[in-house]
Chain A
Amino acid sequence: MINKNPYIPIPMKVIKIIDEVDTRDIKTFRLSFLNKEDEASFKYLPGQFAELSIYGKGESPIGIASSPTEKGYIEFTVMRMGTVVPGTVTSALHDLDEGAQIGIRGPLGNSWPIEFLEKKNVVVVGGGFAFTTLRSLVNYILHEDNRKRFGEITVIYGARNPGLLLYKNELAAWQKRSDIKTIITVDKGDESWQGREGFVPAVCKEIAPSPQNAVTVICGPPVMIRFTLPVFFELGFSKENILTSLEMRMKCGIGKCGRCNVGYKYVCSDGPVFSLADLEELLRDFATYK
């Protein structure tokens, strides 16, 4: 935490807003620090999140989508919520223009376990909108200072249709690189789609990554996770080597307010990243894969 008082946000400026998908309800916000000292002390790792704050609207916990190797800014990809209950903060964010100021509190939570992943093959599996901190992880690993520390990198990323894929330019760039295997799939393509069609679990089964010295990092909608986990069990991945990131309603983000309590863990401060072995230890009224 960078602020002495962990409940007070630091000011940030929105320097770029990118519309990510055809449906116009997912935007990436690039933020820069208003104070140099905040920038210097905001040290994060892929997998961490922050509370995005708009005074008068509230706060919302969002995963950091940029990689710490990108300097001068941080990015968050936010979906506009509000079809069922009011997505007050996300709607307000979507209504912002470049140049606006918002607050953030963070970095919060643990991260993808970078040291644990080193020297191993990493299989990154993402579905739909839940690709933000995975993107951070992939960009972190691909950075020239870091790439040597990791084994083979495989990315399997799927969305319902081509228009819903995030970070399309980056995906295209990854596909051209030889030091990463990038498999993009959509549930159903359109006329212009040249790529693969098929659900993420089926594609994982077909690609069949080897469990030898490998860790898989999975993020996606519950239905994707439910069908993808058995594939990795069958391939021989152990529960310690299957990692995911949990979501839960949060407020404080620092393990104090009690809201994201699941069993004896707080998702915000003990997580959000857990291994499947960790999760099986928790009492899960949140079961998604069984």
Chain B
Amino acid sequence: MLKKISIKKINDLAAALMEKGTLLAPVKEAAGHNFAEIKDPQQLDLDYYNTIVSPKTVFLPQKEDFVRYETAKPVAEAQPVALNIKATFLFGVRPCDAKSFQIMDIHFHASGIIDPYWQQRRDATVIFGSAFDLDIPAQDADFYQTLGIGAADPEGSDVFMVKKGEDLLMKAITPQGEEILARLAMLGEGKPADKKYFEEYIKKGSQHQTRNMCLDPQVIAKKLEDIFHSGEFWQAQSAACLSCGICTFVCPTCYCFDICDDTLFSRGVRRRVWDACMFTDFTLEASGHNPRTHVYQRLRQKVCHKYSFHVRKYGVISCVGCGRCTRYCPVNIDIYSIIQDAMKA
């Protein structure tokens, strides 16, 4: 099913989606765009490159309350926090980010114990993917091509959107996508010429140039195992690293979290919050022992987790080449260069 709408009328689309559920889309903030709830249809904005923080925030919010308690009361009286899930439309997700959800799905609900929060949010959300503008060169940091992701790759989206002049073409990719497009009365039918444009755009997207190297998951996984104990290599790569953790916070596939109790005057909430393997105390044990006291050990953990351990455990690299970690690193550490150097080491 291919539908279309004039970009001038995009606010009508926003209003219709807001009627049917929560609409989340890139919203312009002081420093750039970030996904946020659209409260006014006029806010919907198609003029962005990508968001600062990845849309993982939608399924794995920075804070997630588990249970409310009072320390003076019996444990049995603690109240689990209801999730209160509503139908959600996640609008304008770039192809690399849509792919990241599939990678995170393997971890959160396709293996072992299911994470109820991730799963319920995922099930309630329709992803409206959006192609990068192929007339604009990819930003220097991006390398999604290396991970086999095209600039107009519909994989991971329920509906995929491509701009065609004054129009926005919207194609249903999954049954959920079909269902929502059928319910949006303001959309026009795509013509055969639109269909052709859409298909060609997707093909052209796979040629859209980002930084690119030939990378086989099994080969890089093995390579990183081989150089794991090369202190020199990792110390050189991490020499500038401040352990600030911004790379993990903006990353669409970093999921490490802490569980902590926040109590004030005997009332409190147990919640999970994002954590980062880049932080000194991430592995600090109550005995005082800390297996990763050095910065190089922590950067090595991050890189190897994504490009080696994840491949061995789940079969896929846990990186989509969105370039955020490189873009926002205060000291210009670039995971692409680390992988490139590792392949040569």
* Residues in A lying within 8 Å of B, measured CB to CB: 1, 4-9, 11-12, 34-35, 53, 55-60, 81-87, 90, 101-103, 247-249, 251-252, 254-259, 261, 263-265, 269, 283, 285-286
Asked whether A256 lies within 8 Å of B255 as measured between CB atoms, the reply is yes
By a CB distance below 8 angstroms, the chain A residues around B213 are none
Is the C-beta of B124 less than 8 angstroms from some C-beta in chain A? no
Mark interface residues in B44-87 (1 if CB within 8 Å of A CB, else 0): 00000000000000000000001101110011101010000000
Question: Which one, A8, A53, A102, A264, contacts B309 given CB within 8 A?
Answer: A264
Q: How many residues of B contact A (CB 8 A)?
A: 52
By a CB distance below 8 angstroms, the chain A residues around B304 are 283
* Contacts across chains A and B counted by CB atoms under 8 Å: 138
Residue of B nearest to A252 (CB): B259
By a CB distance below 8 angstroms, the chain A residues around B286 are 60, 81-82, 84-87, 90
Complex CA–CA separation, A6 to B263 (angstroms): 22
Asked whether A85 lies within 8 Å of B66 as measured between CB atoms, the reply is no
Asked whether B256 lies within 8 Å of A55 as measured between CB atoms, the reply is no
By a CB distance below 8 angstroms, the chain B residues around A87 are 286
Complex CA–CA separation, A6 to B74 (angstroms): 20
**Provided the pairs A256-B113, A264-B309 are in contact, do residues A58 and B261 lie with their beta carbons within 8 angstroms?**
yes
Question: Which one, A8, A255, A283, contacts B66 given CB within 8 A?
Answer: A8
Q: Which of B91-99, B141-149, B287-295 participates in binding chain A?
A: B287-295
Asked whether B115 lies within 8 Å of A261 as measured between CB atoms, the reply is no
Most buried by B among A6, A60, A102: A6
By a CB distance below 8 angstroms, the chain B residues around A56 are 69, 71, 261, 263, 266, 268
Complex CA–CA separation, A84 to B95 (angstroms): 47
By a CB distance below 8 angstroms, the chain A residues around B71 are 55-56
Asked whether B75 lies within 8 Å of A103 as measured between CB atoms, the reply is yes
By a CB distance below 8 angstroms, the chain B residues around A285 are 228, 291-292, 297, 300-301
Complex CA–CA separation, A1 to B268 (angstroms): 25
Asked whether A261 lies within 8 Å of B301 as measured between CB atoms, the reply is yes
CB interface residues, B 86-111, toward A, < 8 Å: 107-108, 111
Jot down 25 A-B pairs with beta carbons below 8 A, ordered by A: A6-B113, A7-B116, A7-B259, A8-B66, A34-B76, A35-B76, A55-B67, A55-B71, A55-B75, A56-B69, A56-B261, A59-B259, A85-B285, A103-B78, A247-B285, A249-B282, A249-B284, A251-B275, A256-B112, A257-B259, A258-B255, A258-B305, A259-B275, A259-B282, A285-B297
Asked whether A261 lies within 8 Å of B275 as measured between CB atoms, the reply is no
Asked whether A58 lies within 8 Å of B260 as measured between CB atoms, the reply is yes
> Per DSSP, are chain A's interface residues mostly helix, strand or loop, or mixed?
loop
Is the C-beta of B341 less than 8 angstroms from some C-beta in chain A? no
Complex CA–CA separation, A174 to B232 (angstroms): 52
**Provided the pairs A55-B261, A56-B263, A283-B304 are in contact, do residues A101 and B285 lie with their beta carbons within 8 angstroms?**
no
**Closest Cβ–Cβ distance, residue B80 to chain A (whole Å):** 5
Given contacts A55-B261, A259-B258, 20 further A-B contacts (CB under 8 A): A1-B113, A9-B75, A11-B76, A55-B67, A55-B268, A56-B69, A56-B71, A84-B288, A90-B286, A101-B74, A249-B282, A255-B111, A255-B112, A258-B255, A264-B308, A264-B312, A283-B228, A285-B228, A285-B300, A285-B301
Complex CA–CA separation, A254 to B109 (angstroms): 12
Complex CA–CA separation, A87 to B288 (angstroms): 10
Asked whether B75 lies within 8 Å of A11 as measured between CB atoms, the reply is yes
By a CB distance below 8 angstroms, the chain A residues around B80 are 5, 8
Residue of B nearest to A12 (CB): B75
By a CB distance below 8 angstroms, the chain A residues around B115 are 6, 256
Complex CA–CA separation, A81 to B228 (angstroms): 32
Asked whether B66 lies within 8 Å of A57 as measured between CB atoms, the reply is no
Asked whether B301 lies within 8 Å of A6 as measured between CB atoms, the reply is no
